Structure 1
Amino acid sequence: MLFDRLNEGGPTFMYPLLLILFLVIVLIIQGFLKKESSDKTIKLISSITLFALVWGFLGQLIGMIGGFDSIQIANQISPGVLAGGLKVSLLPPVFGMVVFLIGRLGIIALTWIKK
């Protein structure tokens, strides 16, 4: 199910987002374990998660441009095909937002426990 969605949303954008998610989780865990480097870790998580958010929206825009090119060539397209294409174009930004929110929750938690 997860890998189907990753492939459906475009592996070029979804798999890097998955790697960024793993990196953010590792950084959050590292921030809890090594409290002396938490400021640097918080800034790094903040930058990486913002990149993930922008990367997801970039994936959506590039996908929509390709989809609109196909629609322009076909001249006529059914509403079902259009809706399916729009759904696929929404997957990268949604995943980017999930990574962003997980990172932000980690930042909140790290800030909370910081002395």
Structure 2
Amino acid sequence: MIELFQMGGMLFMSILTIELSMVLFFTVKAFSNKEGYAGKIKSTGLLAAITGILGQLIGLFSAFEAIQQIGAVSPAILAGGLKVSMITTIYGVIIYMIAILLSLIIKMRK
């Protein structure tokens, strides 16, 4: 897990982890009968998904820039780079799924 965190890039993976913490914080607040936190949970989850996609796009841009400078690159190296670039997107989408599920649970409780 720590290896995936480092491979995904410390900046975006840290931001995504903070967003996950915010989702969990808003969930705790919502379970303590505070109003209006279900929307904040979903919004923060969506922000995490968008952050993950942004991390992937920046990673792909950097990779393609390096490929352009080097020239010919083997398909295996290209596939490995594409796989690594998807880590932030996967993490962001997982956070979004968690946020959607938690907001549904909160809405069902009411």
Indicate the TM-score class for this superposition, using the shorter chain for normalisation: over 0.9
Unmatched tracts of structure 1, length 5 or more? none
The residue type paired with residue 91 of structure 1 is I
Taking structure 1 as the reference length, what is the TM-score of the superposition? 0.91
Count the aligned residue pairs: 110
* Corresponding position of 1:43: 39
> Aligned pair 1:22/2:21, yes or no?
yes
**In structure 2, what is the Cα distance between the partners aligned to 1:57 and 1:17?**
11
**In structure 2, what is the Cα distance between the partners aligned to 1:22 and 1:77?**
39
- Which of 64, 83, 89 is residue 60 of structure 2 equivalent to? 64
- 1:48-96 per-residue CA deviation (whole Å, 9 max, x = no partner) reads 1111010000000010000000111111111111111000110001000
| Aligned counterparts, 1:78-93, within 5 A | 78-93=74-89
The residue type paired with residue 108 of structure 1 is L
The alpha-carbon deviation at position 28 of structure 1 amounts to: 1.2
- Secondary structure at the aligned position of 1:77 is classed as coil
Q: Identity of aligned pairs, percent?
A: 33
Query: CA RMSD of the aligned region, Å?
Result: 1.0
Unmatched tracts of structure 2, length 5 or more? none
The residue type paired with residue 76 of structure 1 is A
* Corresponding position of 1:95: 91
**In structure 2, what is the Cα distance between the partners aligned to 1:47 and 1:27?**
11
Q: Would you identify which runs of 4 or more consecutive aligned residues in structure 1 move more than 6 Å?
A: none
The residue type paired with residue 11 of structure 1 is M
The alpha-carbon deviation at position 30 of structure 1 amounts to: 2.2
| Aligned counterparts, 1:3-18, within 5 A | 3-18=2-17
